Structure 1
Amino acid sequence: MKQTVVGVVGPTGVGKTALSIEIAKSFNGEIISGDSMQIYKGMDIGTAKVTEEEKEGVPHHLLNIKNPDESFSVADFQKNVRQKIQLISKNNHLPIIAGGTGLYVQAALFGYNFAEEKRDESYQNKIEKQIDVDGIDVVYQRLKKIDPAQADKIHPNNVRRVIRALEVYDRTGMTMTEYHLRQRVDNPYRPILIGLEMDRELLYKRINNRVDIMLEQGLLEEVKYFYELGLEDAQSMKAIGYKEFIPYFKGEQSFEICVELLKRNSRRYAKRQYTWFKNKMDVDWYSITLDTKNEKFEIILNDLAGKLEKK
């Protein structure tokens, strides 16, 4: 019998953390973070990491497992999540994935396999040198000839992904598109996906307000600390909430402009998250407002109880 896993998904700022804790308390569950940035130690404010108080004693996993100078891939996440699901299930607890990084949640739950091989640094260096000499367009045009479907998904300026797509082809003989199709396997779990959505105008107001609260909590000081450690180019500092302030520290932009960019990027990210989950996964959606949140949570818990009984 497939292991049941509950997923709580939706855009940033909609209330996923609170709902996942209510589910865990009601159904003897443990929570696995499905956020690609909450893995980093010390990056607490900008990632809206759940606090000890907010956890209400519910066990949480995959928080603070990496240093901010370390990289972490989707394949790494998938491996870690599956280990945690197995561990939680052995304890006869309900695994709950809570988070908004769509690709990560999809990879963990829907049987998507990734290449076992690490990136080949020598190959990457070779292509980077070619780009320095010939420009990115020459390399990108080669990808368009080899794998036009994948090229359409990658912006030419996303050099890392362009190189990876070419590396997969040159090392395996398969295009990335073919590779993705072949690596789909049977779903190893029985996922129950619960999505939270909110009127867009209300959600955007919440996101803007959330940024203001983060700044009051010391977001700027948090980002400055990691910037001064020399982590400007680290994967962790590419996250929304961190990258926006680097121009401020360099004296290239005013603080006010950086804050507005952060709010705008957060709103755009919320829209992308919502689109991803709508298009990629079979989710039961619940629309909530600030006034109806508690009532909706009760409805969700009742609906979930019925689904869990059917397993």
Structure 2
Amino acid sequence: MTKKEKVVVLIGPTAVGKTSLSIELAKKFNGEIISGDSMQIYKGMDIATAKITKKEMQGIPHHLIDIIEPDESFSVAQFQELVRAKITEITARGKLPIIVGGTGLYIQSVLYDYQFQETASDTDFRSKLEVLADKEGSNVVHDMLRKVDPEAADSIHHHNVRRVIRALEVHHVTGQKMTELQKQQKRELLYDATIIGLTMDRELLYERINLRVDQMVQQGLLEEVSFFYNKGLRNCQSIQAIGYKELFQYMDRNQSLEESIEELKQNSRRYAKRQLTWFRNKISVKWFDMTDSVKKGDISKKIVEISSFLEGMLQKKQNT
């Protein structure tokens, strides 16, 4: 029997503190970090996606950041292939792969024997829906999805037109709901994985999200979004990123800047809630509450606690 490769996964909602903790764990356990975020792959989209800076990396190698142009599409299947290759590459160097992020489906696709229904395609059907969404708005196709697969409609935001149409296409071709097909997937872990989750009191988390948005605006979020807006970047996957779609509304003069920023905060809070719900329902996680550490402004004890847990898990697995 082939020995499974070791992988550490650090998950949690946006603004919970994954970035700083991941650096400490990578330093302590000789690790390299793989981004598990579906939007940090895009070049130039830095502020809105809270992309880690070179300074924050502290010399720790990071992978799957800035790998494609904003007008290119990127699938979960592509992510799965790239990350699995990186895990093997990092392991071969004698380092520990640490996946850090908040995009649940992407991370699940890597860790589990997750097959994609790539054969379920009908390009004509897909094109018709794309035209429909373009003419009449994303809500129209999202309402179509709600009629055939309410569970998928609940989990996919109506702005994410590509995924909405994909779910409709799968149902059209196979006659099955995408959620049903996903539930049929095997739940076998392909890796010797330790999954660590960070959580926090909801009120405090929401305060941190609101503060982060204000900081993004101060750092030049409006200028970043304006750059891509002026380039004519429109109906593509990257613009579904929270921060872009809301400010595009302001630039289209559909709402004021204040309204767009408030909507951005609200959508970020809702996304954090969906992230926590997803992780708790789909993946077996060892959770650590960051509330007290953050309130005290000192996460050093939490770093020691999590490091101790991880060290124990890695030693335990070494001996089995």
1:143–1:165 Cα contact (<8 Å) kept: no
Q: 2:28 — aligned with what? A: 26
Q: 2:231 — aligned with what? A: 229
TM-score, with length taken from structure 2: 0.86
Structure 1 residues 206 and 155: CA distance shift in structure 2, 3 A: closer
Find 2:188's aligned residue among 186, 189, 193.
186
1:143–1:162 Cα contact (<8 Å) kept: no
Moved more, 84-93 or 148-157: 148-157
Percent sequence identity over aligned pairs: 55
Please give the residue correspondences for 1:251-262 in structure 2 after superposition, counting only pairs within 5 Å. Answer: 251-262=253-264
AA matched with 1:140: M
SS in 1 for 2:102: coil
1:107 to partner: Cα distance: 1.4
- The alignment status of 1:140 with 2:144, answered yes or no, reads yes
AA matched with 1:49: K
Q: 2:216 — aligned with what? A: 214
1:24 to partner: Cα distance: 0.7
AA matched with 1:23: L
Structure 1 residues 152 and 203: CA distance shift in structure 2, 3 A: closer
AA matched with 1:25: K
Q: 1:298 — aligned with what? A: 304
SS in 1 for 2:9: strand
Per-residue CA distance 1:119-164 (angstroms, 9 max, x = gap):
543231245678989x958x938963xx676577668897655543
Structure 1 residues 308 and 156: CA distance shift in structure 2, 3 A: closer
AA matched with 1:302: S
Per-residue CA distance 1:35-72 (angstroms, 9 max, x = gap):
11000000111111011111011000000001000111
Structure 2 residue runs of 5 or longer lacking an equivalent are none
Structure 1 residues 86 and 294: CA distance shift in structure 2, 3 A: same
Task: Report how many residues are paired.
Answer: 307
1:76 to partner: Cα distance: 1.4
Moved more, 287-296 or 14-23: 287-296
Structure 2: distance between partners of 1:126 and 1:251? 29
Structure 2: distance between partners of 1:151 and 1:12? 22
Q: 1:43 — aligned with what? A: 45
2:146–2:152 Cα contact (<8 Å) kept: no
Structure 1 residues 283 and 155: CA distance shift in structure 2, 3 A: closer
SS in 2 for 1:310: helix
Structure 1 residues 185 and 234: CA distance shift in structure 2, 3 A: same
1:211 to partner: Cα distance: 1.0
Q: 2:316 — aligned with what? A: 310
Structure 2: distance between partners of 1:216 and 1:157? 26
2:120–2:170 Cα contact (<8 Å) kept: no
TM-score, with length taken from structure 1: 0.89
Find 2:78's aligned residue among 76, 79, 91.
76
Per-residue CA distance 1:98-135 (angstroms, 9 max, x = gap):
011111111111221112348543231245678989x9
Q: 1:63 — aligned with what? A: 65
Structure 1 residues 199 and 309: CA distance shift in structure 2, 3 A: same
2:122–2:173 Cα contact (<8 Å) kept: no
Structure 2: distance between partners of 1:252 and 1:170? 34
Structure 2: distance between partners of 1:212 and 1:77? 31
2:120–2:169 Cα contact (<8 Å) kept: no
Moved more, 114-123 or 254-263: 114-123
SS in 1 for 2:303: helix
Structure 1 residues 53 and 296: CA distance shift in structure 2, 3 A: same
Please give the residue correspondences for 1:263-278 in structure 2 after superposition, counting only pairs within 5 Å. Answer: 263-278=265-280
Q: 1:13 — aligned with what? A: 15
SS in 2 for 1:5: strand
AA matched with 1:306: G
Per-residue CA distance 1:235-284 (angstroms, 9 max, x = gap):
11111111111121122211111111111111111111111111211111
